[in-house]
Amino acid sequence: MNKILVFLMSLMLISCNGQETKKPLTNNQKMDRQNLEYITFGGGCFWCVESCFNMLKGVDAAISGYSGGHKPNPTYEEVCTGETGHAEVVQIAYDPKIISYEQLMDVFFFLHDPTQLNRQGNDIGTQYRSVIFYKDEAEKQKAEAALKTSEDSGRWNGKYVTELAKFEKFWPAEQYHQGYYNANPTQPYCSAVVGPKIAKFKKHYGELGMLEADNE
């Protein structure tokens, strides 16, 4: 019995659910510049995804939130039950003159395993599904092309299960989730899971010259 208890506790330490230390955070930039375009997708726990996209040149802001569900204005606790239908997502405001949709998709598929259905590692549930939300038919075709390009590249071994869904509504997550990793780098999940992912991301995309100077 003691071994089982220790095992379960270790899983909690390295899973996103239940790790919401509410430390005051710095606000994200406002997403209201007229030259920006927007994209919304989910690739597991939003703490890592948001942090990485905010380092990219051409990204004005990446905001953690919820999309794809049926309950208005859901809370983090409600989404974590898996009963609202929402996915943890990040909505990105970007300047297409600096960074392209295809480049953003390449980063998206780099940051999570799109062959895992309704999970990322120890984060299990439909709220952690791999999903791209598209605004119209033209964007759906771009998403399909990006998905095929990534799958054909062999970056991940297996068939992609990334969902393509029509965008309807984005609900920003609670303020303490915004910039979560930067405010809580030593929190168990952040140090064990998010930190290594960010280090790998910074090495790869830093070498490609895609990061802001203060993130290289």
Q: So which residues are the catalytic ones?
A: 45
Tokens of 1: 């019995």
Strands 123-124 and 163-166: what pairing? unpaired
Secondary structure (DSSP) of 162-210: -EEEE---EEEPPGGGTTHHHH-TTSHHIIIIIHHHHHHHHHHHHHTT-
Element (H, E) at 5: helix 2-13
Which residues have a Cβ under 8 Å from the Cβ of 155 and sit 6 or more positions away? 109, 110
**What residue type is 88 in one-letter code?**
E
Residue among 180, 205, 204 at smallest CA distance from 21: 180
